[in-house]
Amino acid sequence: MNMVRTAMLLAFMTALFMAIGYLIGGTGGMLIALAIAAAMNMFSYWNADKMVLRMHHAIEVDERSAPEYYGIVRQLAERADLPMPKVYLIKNDQPNAFATGRNPQNAAVAATTGLLHMLSHEEVAGVMAHELAHVKHRDTLTMTITATLAGAISMLGNFAFFFRGGRSGALGLIGMLAAMILAPLAAMMVQMAVSRTREYSADRGGAEICGHPMWLASALAKIAGGAGRVVNEDAERNPATAHMFIINPLHGQRMDGLFSTHPATENRIAALRQMEAEFRDAPTPSAATPDTGTSSGPWGRNRDSGPQKGPWS
Q: Which of 122, 123, 131, 208 is catalytic?
A: 131
Which residues have C-beta within 8 Å of that of residue 163, sequence separation ≥ 6? 24, 25, 169, 176
Check the annotation: does 236 bind a ligand. Answer: no
CA-closest candidate to residue 84, choices 66, 62, 114 = 62
Which residues have C-beta within 8 Å of that of residue 141, sequence separation ≥ 6? 6, 45, 101, 102, 103
122 catalytic per annotation? no
Check the annotation: does 130 bind a ligand. Answer: yes
φ and ψ at residue 284, rounded to 5 degrees: -120, 150
Residues of each annotated binding site for Zn(2+): 130, 134, 199
Which residues are the active-site residues? 131
